Amino acid sequence: MNQHNILVIGAGGQIGTVLVEKLRTIYGSSAVFATDLKENPDKHIQILDVMDREGLEKFIDKNKIREIYHLAAILSARGEQNPKWAWDINMGGLFNVLESAVKYKVEKVFYPSTIAVFGKHIPLENTPNHVPLTPATVYGISKVAGELWAEYYFNKHGLDVRSVRYPGVIGYQSLAGGGTTDYAVDIFHAEAKNEVFECFLAQNTKLPMIYMDDCIQATIDIMRAPTENIKCRTSYNLAGMSFSPVEIASEIQKRNPNFKIVYQPDFRQAIAASWPQSIDDSEARKDWGWKPKYDLADLVDIMMTEVRKLYTTNPNS
Ligand code: SER
């Protein structure tokens, strides 16, 4: 059996869907075990509930897992609907992963953090890596705690946990689910369907975002970097681009002058307003060579082309 088997938890989600494909091309299909709450035989996703500690341990042991990507979490907007539930899943899932990883001598764990860890009393432009973290959402609170636990397990148990703070992630291969940045994915689906897009954020709400390929590249790069290069053991800031709803809408309108957007800010506006507008990711650049490739124009070109294809191939989707 391959001695470097990889487990992806949350493989059916927005990022997991794309990450699994990339990992399979790098390490070979038989080395990558994709799992989620729901199975998907077409994508070779098996059932595994990260809250089931015994099941998780058995899976790791049986499949000789050496690396884990723990992507399962309740994001910012959905978490606010049921904070205690979101806390239990985000923290319970992480503890199960960390404890099982130590017990079965897993070599590396990837734990995504987020721009939602930021809150008051910090510069919202070019937000530095190391600032007071005072998030306003249960998602942000759980990820701050998670970052600290990641560092704790590294220091106390030598567990090689690596983490980046994802901005809003935008890709065509999967839908976003339960986040405050989801509008920047949904907008392309409205455009492809010739619908007027109702944006749940106000027009000038600028947020850090990243194109999916850059997000996946950062994830692979930090996991492949030599251990000694990972100097930050909480989480690295990661930047791709920054834009507001009106800016992305006008990029779309350059390519489709008929595209229309209206603004109906809801509870997610307050969450977005508490987050940085842009991120200083110089530590990631310095320590493990991070450099994004895609800007807003690239992103809009690719997203419009690819999302339209989804609706041409399958008009009922
Ligand atoms: N995309 C996430 C959210 O909006 C941020 O990490 O919740």
- Among 178, 158, 160, 159, CA closest to 168: 178
Cβ–Cβ under 8 Å, residues 163 and 150: yes
pLDDT of res. 177 = 86
Burial of 218-246, coded b for 16+ CB within 10 Å and e otherwise, reads bbeebbebeeeebebbbbbbbbbbbbbbb
Cβ–Cβ under 8 Å, residues 164 and 236: yes
Cβ–Cβ under 8 Å, residues 171 and 212: yes
Contacts of 226 by beta carbon, 8 Å cutoff, 6+ apart: none
pTM: 0.96
Contacts of 182 by beta carbon, 8 Å cutoff, 6+ apart: 77, 168, 176
- Atom of ligand 1 at shortest range from CA of 79: 7
- Atom of ligand 1 at shortest range from CA of 165: 6
Q: How far is Cα 152 from Cα 213, in angstroms, rounded to an integer?
A: 30
Tell me if 137 CB under 6 Å of ligand 1. Answer: no
Q: What is the pLDDT of residues 92-135, one digit of tens each?
A: 999 999 999 999 999 999 999 999 999 999 999 999 999 999 99
Of the two residues 4 and 155, the one the predictor is more confident about is 155
Q: What is the pLDDT of residues 292-308, one digit of tens each?
A: 999 999 999 999 999 99
pLDDT of res. 4 = 85
Give me the residue label for tokens 């405050």: 180
Q: How far is Cα 148 from Cα 236, in angstroms, rounded to an integer?
A: 12
Mean pLDDT (the chain, rounded): 97
pLDDT at 53 over 70: yes
Q: Ligand 1, atom 2: nearest CA belongs to which residue? A: 179
pLDDT of res. 63 = 98
Tell me if 181 CB under 6 Å of ligand 1. Answer: yes
Tell me if 75 CB under 6 Å of ligand 1. Answer: yes
Q: What is the mean pLDDT of residues 170-175?
A: 97
Q: Ligand 1, atom 3: nearest CA belongs to which residue? A: 179
Taking the CA atoms of residue 92, residue 62, residue 9 and residue 317 in that order, the dihedral angle to the nearest 10 degrees is -130
Q: Ligand 1 pocket: which of 78, 113, 139 to mutate (most atoms <8 Å of CB)?
A: 139
pLDDT of res. 107 = 97
pLDDT at 1 over 80: no
Tell me if 215 CB under 6 Å of ligand 1. Answer: no
Q: Ligand 1 pocket: which of 182, 274, 277 to mutate (most atoms <8 Å of CB)?
A: 182
* % pLDDT > 70, the chain: 97
pLDDT of res. 120 = 94
183 belongs to the catalytic site: no
* % pLDDT > 90, the chain: 97
Q: What is the pLDDT of residues 233-273, one digit of tens each?
A: 999 999 999 999 999 999 999 999 999 999 999 999 999 99
Domains of the chain plus CATH, in order, are 5-168+211-237 (3.40.50.720), 169-208+241-277+294-313 (3.90.25)
- Atom of ligand 1 at shortest range from CA of 275: 5
Band (pLDDT 50/70/90 cuts) for residue 314 is: low
Instruction: List the catalytic residue out of 69, 104, 111, 139.
Output: 139
Band (pLDDT 50/70/90 cuts) for residue 316 is: low
241 φ, ψ (degrees, to nearest 5): -150, 175
- Atom of ligand 1 at shortest range from CA of 178: 7
Cα 210 to middle of ligand 1, angstroms: 11
